[in-house]
């Protein structure tokens, strides 16, 4: 068994999606300053770095991050590689073996963007018809390797299609160097009461498919 960390480290240099507050980490007490311990203050948004979007993100009446079952965030996942394409739609997803899959991670050219300074607006993203395809396929969690599943100047349609139909979104993954295939995904969010999102520590583990119970991926939509 191998464990792959697919989380982006939180730091002052981490890009933020336009309009979101940047990450800020500052010392409060320091041993080097004569204090009794090192303690830092972290200022982040609920959508900083590698994070989850629950239905509450785009719907005041949607399920909040602390009300989703933890079983959704740990289990079998398919990592699919789609490169050379910016707008990922139904045609690109049709070739994927999605039957029975409840968690889908998209590895795109975005994973190379983490090596660049600042936010890059021209990133690979899911289109509305791609989002509808994901819903129809029965996927319950979809992830992508940049700060949004939707294009930079989208109107929220992709998010709403997914979230309103019970598909949680995992954004800000770093899938560079990870080979497409079957893994166990673990991406536990912070328990933020009524939260519209949460940073996560996301990892992949190589395991046999029979170790997973796909029935645990079901969760209530209301």
Is the pTM here over 0.85, yes or no? yes
Amino acid 220: pLDDT = 41
Helix (H, G, I), strand (E, B) or coil at 163: helix
Band (71; pLDDT cuts 50, 70, 90): very high
Burial of 54 (0-12, 13-18, 19+ CB in 10 A): buried
Amino acid 221: pLDDT = 35
Measured CA to CA, the distance from residue 155 to residue 160 in angstroms comes to 10
Measured CA to CA, the distance from residue 181 to residue 209 in angstroms comes to 11
Any idea which residue has 């209530």 for tokens? 220
Any idea which residue has 């979101």 for tokens? 20
Band (208; pLDDT cuts 50, 70, 90): low
pLDDT, tens only, 87-143? 999 999 999 999 999 999 999 999 999 999 999 999 999 999 999 999 999 999 999
Q: What is the CB-side half-sphere exposure of residue 83 using CA atoms within 13 A?
A: 10
Q: What is the mean pLDDT of residues 42-57?
A: 98
Structural domains for the chain? 3-9+47-217 (3.50.30.50)
Band (189; pLDDT cuts 50, 70, 90): very high
Q: What is the mean pLDDT of residues 163-190?
A: 97
Give me the helices (H) in 54-176, please.
90-93, 128-136, 157-163
Query: With 80 as the cut, is the pLDDT of residue 216 above it?
Result: no
Measured CA to CA, the distance from residue 76 to residue 32 in angstroms comes to 45
Which listed residue (51, 57, 125, 159) is catalytic? 57
Nearest CA-CA partner of 147 in 24, 42, 46: 46
Rounded to the nearest integer, the mean pLDDT of the chain is 93
Strand partners, 43: 24
Amino acid 1: pLDDT = 87
Q: Is there a catalytic annotation at residue 132? A: no
Residues in the chain: 222
Query: With 80 as the cut, is the pLDDT of residue 38 above it?
Result: yes
């Amino acid at each position: 068994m191998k464990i792959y960390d697919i989380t982006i480290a939180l730091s002052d240099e981490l890009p933020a999606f336009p309009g979101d507050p940047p990450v800020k980490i500052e010392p409060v007490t320091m041993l080097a300053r004569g204090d009794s311990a090192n303690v830092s203050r972290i200022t982040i948004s609920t959508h900083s770095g590698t994070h989850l979007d629950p239905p509450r993100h785009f719907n005041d009446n949607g399920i909040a991050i602390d009300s989703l079952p933890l079983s959704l965030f740990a289990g079998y996942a398919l990592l699919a590689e789609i490169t050379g394409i910016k707008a990922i739609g139904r045609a690109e997803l049709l070739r994927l073996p999605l039957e029975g899959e409840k968690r889908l991670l998209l590895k795109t050219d975005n994973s190379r963007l983490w090596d660049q300074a600042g936010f890059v607006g021209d990133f690979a993203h899911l289109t509305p018809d791609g989002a509808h395809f994901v819903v129809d396929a029965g996927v319950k969690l979809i992830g992508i390797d940049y700060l949004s599943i939707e294009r930079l100047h989208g109107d929220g349609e992709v998010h709403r299609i997914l979230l309103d139909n019970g598909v949680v979104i995992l954004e800000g993954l770093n899938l560079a160097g990870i080979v497409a295939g079957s893994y166990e995904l673990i991406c536990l969010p912070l328990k933020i009461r009524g939260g519209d999102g949460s940073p996560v520590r996301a990892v992949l583990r190589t395991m046999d498919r029979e170790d997973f119970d796909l029935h645990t991926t079901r969760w209530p939509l209301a």
